[in-house]
Amino acid sequence: MERAILLEVDEITAKKGRILKDFSLKATSEFNRLFEERNFCDKFTEFHKKVYSSVKKNTSFNAQIICDLERRVWRSKGKAKGITVKFNVPRNCKTFSTKYFDFIELGIYPRNRIAVPIKKNRNWQRYKSLLENGWTCKTYGLTPNLQIVAYLSKEDVTAHMRPNVLGVDVNSKCFAVTVLSPNGKVLHQDYFGKDIWIKRKHIFERKSELQSYADKGSEYAKKALRRLKRKEHNFVKNRVGEVVRDITDMALRYNADIAIENLHRFSPKGKRFNREVMHIPFYTFKKILEQRCFDKNIRLDTVDAWHTSKFCSHCGAVGKGHDSRNYALFRCKKCGVVVNSDRHASENVALKSLLERKHITNHKTFQISNRRVPVNGLVRPDDVGLRNVAVQHAYQPDGKLHP
């Protein structure tokens, strides 16, 4: 597991500021120059041999900084307006403390190091607590605005499996959760983050108003749009973090693992669908959830998103999912059950995670296809040649249907 923490720089002298700013500009300029040179090379070794001497001559950077620039240029998709230059410990960077200050010393040039004081704010306290809890920091970065980024890492330790599963369904307006016991009994259901959509809806409306003025050339509207974008980003990140905290606390309270869907891509389904669904902060939610689960020693299972909102958890039949008369409801045409669609989807996510556990045999039995064939495991459609199969998963006991 890896994470980065931004450490705010305390007041520095004007001379140090000029040196660091000049160094950052040179690194960005060299990055863009190397990007143009990359197009004429087929392999990284060829690229390294071609540009290393010229970079050393033009900038006098340390060898570690040059090699890091080359690797980042080779992986880059375009030029950059500013880059974060990385320094490795202990060769080009070290930390030390005095009576009143903590410093990070950066080796920007050979035999030329600059000690940067760090503010002892909440980020610094968080950084120190992570170091005390087994995290290590072997790399620091200097951002274009002359702040320090600490890159921390910790070896992954497999968390023990808990008996229950908490399934999370991420939709356009909230996070629905369901806690299931090993035999499929619902222990708890809840919603989180309803206010995120309400707040963002107001922001979208305000953006639409400001954009009309910005298109007419209003500088005030353009500045207001930038401020609103930052406000939206900060609000969403903070609230998603609070939602993740509540979800992980609930998982510990019910002694449950956490299961989410693999929503890495969406198929295009129209302008309105994309406007609503693509604004779901799923990536932010997933990254924060992974970190919090790692910190609290909770297993996080990512299940296949195949038909989680369309198959009935009661009988297993696959249908259209949402009720045609009320989109908030799920109605099964086979058994007639009517439930809330968000809670139903979160229950199916948890159910998939339960069924994928190899050691669980006494689980909730249900149908998986329109043929209503009872089985005690989940199968992929290409494994058995069936259409409209309800779910896919990674584990399959023997690859056969069990009538």
One digit per residue, the tens of pLDDT, for the chain of length 403 reads: 888 899 999 888 999 999 999 999 999 999 999 998 888 788 899 999 989 998 888 888 889 999 999 999 999 988 898 999 999 998 889 999 888 889 999 998 888 889 999 998 899 998 999 898 888 999 999 999 999 999 999 887 777 889 999 999 887 778 899 999 988 888 998 989 888 888 888 888 898 889 888 888 889 999 999 999 899 888 888 999 999 999 999 999 999 999 998 866 555 555 565 555 556 677 888 889 998 998 888 999 888 777 777 777 777 677 666 655 666 788 777 777 788 888 888 888 888 888 877 544 444 444 444 444 333 344 333 333 334 344 444 433 333 333 3
- Rounded to whole angstroms, the Cα distance separating 139 from 149 reads 9
Query: Same domain for 124 and 188?
Result: no
Query: Same domain for 191 and 126?
Result: no
Query: Same domain for 113 and 256?
Result: no
Report how far apart, in Å, the C-alpha atoms of 242 and of each of 184, 196, 320, 358 are. Answer: 28, 11, 33, 33
Instruction: Return the sign of the alpha-carbon dihedral for residues 6, 9, 10, 11.
Output: negative
Query: Same domain for 267 and 118?
Result: no
In a domain, 393, yes or no: no
**H/E run at residue 119:** none
Query: Same domain for 51 and 131?
Result: yes
In a domain, 67, yes or no: yes
CATH number at residue 271: 3.30.420.140
Instruction: Note down the domain range covering 135.
Output: 2-153
- Rounded to whole angstroms, the Cα distance separating 116 from 69 reads 22
In a domain, 216, yes or no: no
Q: Which domain-ending residue is among 153, 187, 212?
A: 153
In a domain, 397, yes or no: no
Query: Same domain for 253 and 299?
Result: yes
Query: Same domain for 145 and 171?
Result: no
Query: Same domain for 144 and 178?
Result: no
Instruction: Return the sign of the alpha-carbon dihedral for residues 204, 206, 209, 214.
Output: negative
- Rounded to whole angstroms, the Cα distance separating 183 from 27 reads 59
In a domain, 396, yes or no: no
Of the candidates 127, 105, 143, which has an alpha carbon nearest to the alpha carbon of residue 4?
127
Query: Same domain for 188 and 291?
Result: yes
Q: Which domain-ending residue is among 126, 153, 180?
A: 153
Query: Same domain for 130 and 184?
Result: no
Query: Same domain for 148 and 169?
Result: no
CB 164 within 8 A of CB 276: no
Query: Same domain for 282 and 345?
Result: yes
> Whole-prediction pTM value?
0.70
- Rounded to whole angstroms, the Cα distance separating 293 from 2 reads 13
In a domain, 346, yes or no: yes
How many structural domains compose the chain? 2
The residue length of the chain stands at 403
In a domain, 115, yes or no: yes
In a domain, 360, yes or no: yes
